[in-house]
């Protein structure tokens, strides 16, 4: 099999001592930031982007991938012991996991989530290795029109279909578009959206946007909510070894979660929320211990969603590597790391950068092994991180935020933009606007424009390319259905029930 020989080659890249060290560093850092509330993989990778000027692409992507996977493992620890899900994908883990911890079975919950993450992460990475070449073959037939339509579909799915409101999701996306347009238009050399300021000619760096929204915005939000209830760490009780019964209840849930998570993550829609919620619903339905759900905590309700979460994280890498299509904030920032090396992710990546791609995929297998070791025997170490008091934690995050942004340009203008975006991030958090579409929008909109222009140049200015090519038409139709469908569905439901009850402005 071709893939196997590629993988063997990838392992020869990943198994060099230097790359193993990057993998270990990435997974350790990833677990730490996953455990710490307020820090996530998107923010961490953004802060580390300057490393792309220092080291080879293989090294920095192995580091970033380790952080990405590590944060998934670490996030579940926080959900189980603290009941504050670090990110939307671990909300479901908190549902049952925290109940298990409260009823003295925290050890088993942590074990099933770490081993489940390992099983699903490994299956998901195998999925990447075998699915990616297939997608590449398919994607080689894509023209600019198809790429543009695919991006339109991704815009709709990441902003309008997922999340609580399509209008707010799209608003976030368009804010990202505005930020992405700032700077000089590469094709004609015209400055756009610069308000006559020379500092804006180079555009706004994705580091500034990610750090502003995720670090500064989050700090403001946490400061504003000091009156809200304090979370309490559930002390770690119970053996980390699962009993035979717990194994028997877990393994099927892991496999089901992985089978659910990977395909959904690999769709150009992304999002780990849907597979985790689906997995939870399925496990609850199939379980022989329904009475444990919502009371003392059912182990299937941790094992399934946690596996789905990790498998979908692996799945997200498929459209990112094969099509250059990021569907999460972290993937979008990784894409900008590719750009910083002058590498264009897409089908050609697998031919021109075989070392990088297969080395990266191989390092993901290694990362999974390191992570299960880091997260089971060493769990006590990570639990201690949860005890860092909030004042010093958030003040420290902002010190690093300053290093990350001021360091790239030494320009106080960047700090001003950073803090303004922090204010915006606070409002978005407070008023329930999703932040990931901002990052995806700012990275992907200029790329969509390039593809659009290419398509129009090839077709000699004829707009019909977008709807006469069957594939392009299909993608645009899907996007349209994604935009309109849920509203029509809601309207029909509303009419059917004829409920006079007013749902406050769920626009």
Partner 1 sequence: MSTTDQQAARPRLAVPELLIGIGLLACAGAVAWQTLSIPVSPLYSKVGPTVFPYITMVGMTILSLLLIVAALRGGWQPEEEKETPTDWKAMGIVAVGLVANLVLIQPLGFTAASVIMFVLICHGFGSRHPLRDVLLGLILALAAYFGFARALGVNIGAGFIENQLNTGLDSIIRMLRG
Structure token pair of residue 196 = 């006559």
**What is the closest distance, in whole angstroms, from the C-beta atom of residue 349 to partner 1 in the complex?**
25
HEC readout, 96-129: HHHHHHHCCCHHHHHHHHHHHHHHHHHHHHHHHH
- Cβ proximity to partner 1, 156 vs 303, nearer residue: 156
**What is the closest distance, in whole angstroms, from the C-beta atom of residue 459 to partner 1 in the complex?**
9
CA distance 427 to 432: 8
**What is the closest distance, in whole angstroms, from the C-beta atom of residue 344 to partner 1 in the complex?**
20
**What is the closest distance, in whole angstroms, from the C-beta atom of residue 379 to partner 1 in the complex?**
25
- How is 21-39 classified by DSSP, letter by letter? HHHHHHHHHHHHHHHSTT-
Structure token pair of residue 431 = 């008023």
**What is the closest distance, in whole angstroms, from the C-beta atom of residue 449 to partner 1 in the complex?**
5
Three-class SS state of 190? coil
Structure token pair of residue 279 = 């997995």
**What is the closest distance, in whole angstroms, from the C-beta atom of residue 506 to partner 1 in the complex?**
6
Torsion from C-alpha of 389, 393, 394, 400, nearest 10 degrees = 170
- Cβ proximity to partner 1, 224 vs 239, nearer residue: 224
User: What is residue 346's DSSP assignment?
Assistant: S
Structure token pair of residue 92 = 């479901």
**What is the closest distance, in whole angstroms, from the C-beta atom of residue 505 to partner 1 in the complex?**
4
Phi, psi of 378, rounded to the nearest 5 degrees: -100, 15
- Cβ proximity to partner 1, 295 vs 457, nearer residue: 457
The answer to whether the CB of 13 falls within 8 A of the CB of 19 is: yes
- Cβ proximity to partner 1, 373 vs 395, nearer residue: 395
SS3 content of the chain, % helix, strand, coil (to 5): 75, 0, 25
- Cβ proximity to partner 1, 142 vs 426, nearer residue: 426
- Cβ proximity to partner 1, 193 vs 251, nearer residue: 193
Q: Would you mind telling me the total number of residues written for the chain in this entry?
A: 507
The answer to whether the CB of 60 falls within 8 A of the CB of 338 is: no
How many Cβ atoms from other residues are within 10 Å of residue 18's Cβ?
12
- Cβ proximity to partner 1, 170 vs 372, nearer residue: 170
Structure token pair of residue 502 = 């007013």
**What is the closest distance, in whole angstroms, from the C-beta atom of residue 433 to partner 1 in the complex?**
9
**What is the closest distance, in whole angstroms, from the C-beta atom of residue 422 to partner 1 in the complex?**
7
List Cα–Cα distances, 210 to 176, 271, 336, in angstroms.
11, 18, 12
- Cβ proximity to partner 1, 377 vs 423, nearer residue: 423
Q: Which residues pair with 192 in a beta bridge?
A: 183
- Cβ proximity to partner 1, 202 vs 506, nearer residue: 506
Q: Please list, in sequence order, all residues whose beta carbon lies within 8 angstroms of the beta carbon of residue 314, skipping any fewer than 6 positions away.
A: 120, 121, 124, 125, 127, 128, 262, 265, 364
- Cβ proximity to partner 1, 8 vs 403, nearer residue: 403
**What is the closest distance, in whole angstroms, from the C-beta atom of residue 431 to partner 1 in the complex?**
6
């Amino acid at each position: 099999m071709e893939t196997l020989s590629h993988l063997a080659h990838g392992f020869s890249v990943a198994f060099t001592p230097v790359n193993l060290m990057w993998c270990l560093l990435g997974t350790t850092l990833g677990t730490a930031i996953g455990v710490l509330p307020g820090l996530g993989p998107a923010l961490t990778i953004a802060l580390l982007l300057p490393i792309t000027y220092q080291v080879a692409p293989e090294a920095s992507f192995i580091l970033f991938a380790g952080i990405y996977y590590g944060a998934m493992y670490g996030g579940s620890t926080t959900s189980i012991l603290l009941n504050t899900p670090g990110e939307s994908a671990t909300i479901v883990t908190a549902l049952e996991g925290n109940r298990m911890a409260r009823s003295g079975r925290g050890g088993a919950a942590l074990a099933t989530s770490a081993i489940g993450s390992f099983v699903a992460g490994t299956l998901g990475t195998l999925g990447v290795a075998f699915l990616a070449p297939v997608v590449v073959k398919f994607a080689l037939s894509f023209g600019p029109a198809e790429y543009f339509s695919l991006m339109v579909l991704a815009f709709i799915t990441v902003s309008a279909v997922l999340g609580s409101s399509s209008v707010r999701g799209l608003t976030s996306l368009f804010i990202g578009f505005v930020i992405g347009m700032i700077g000089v238009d590469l094709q004609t050399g015209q400055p756009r959206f610069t308000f006559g300021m020379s500092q804006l000619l180079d555009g706004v760096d994705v580091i500034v946007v990610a750090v502003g929204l995720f670090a500064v915005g989050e700090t403001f939000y946490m400061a504003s909510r000091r009156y809200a209830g304090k979370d309490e760490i559930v002390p770690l009780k119970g053996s980390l070894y699962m009993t035979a019964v717990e194994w028997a209840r877990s393994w099927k849930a892991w496999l089901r979660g992985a089978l659910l998570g990977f395909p959904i993550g690999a769709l150009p829609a992304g999002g780990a929320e849907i597979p985790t919620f689906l997995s939870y619903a399925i496990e609850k339905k199939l379980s022989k211990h329904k009475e444990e759900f919502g009371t003392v905590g059912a182990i299937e309700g941790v094992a399934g969603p946690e596996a789905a979460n990790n498998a979908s994280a692996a799945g997200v890498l498929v459209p990112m590597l094969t099509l250059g299509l990021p569907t999460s904030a972290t993937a979008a920032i990784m894409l900008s790391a590719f750009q910083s090396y002058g590498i264009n992710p897409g089908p050609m990546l697998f031919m021109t950068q075989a070392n990088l791609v297969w080395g990266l995929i191989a390092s993901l297998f290694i990362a999974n092994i390191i992570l299960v070791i880091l997260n089971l025997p060493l769990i006590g170490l990570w639990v201690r991180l949860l005890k860092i008091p909030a004042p010093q934690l958030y003040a420290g995050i902002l010190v690093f935020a300053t290093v990350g942004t001021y360091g790239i340009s030494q320009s106080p203008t960047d700090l001003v933009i950073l803090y303004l975006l922090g204010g915006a991030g606070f409002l978005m958090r407070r008023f329930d606007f999703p932040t990931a579409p901002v990052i995806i929008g700012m990275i992907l909109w200029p790329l969509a424009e390039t593809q659009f222009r290419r398509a129009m140049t090839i077709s000699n200015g004829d707009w019909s390319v977008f709807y006469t090519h069957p594939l392009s038409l299909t993608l645009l139709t899907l996007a349209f259905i994604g935009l309109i469908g849920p509203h029509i569905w809601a309207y029909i439901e509303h009419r059917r029930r004829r409920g006079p009850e007013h749902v406050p402005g769920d626009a």
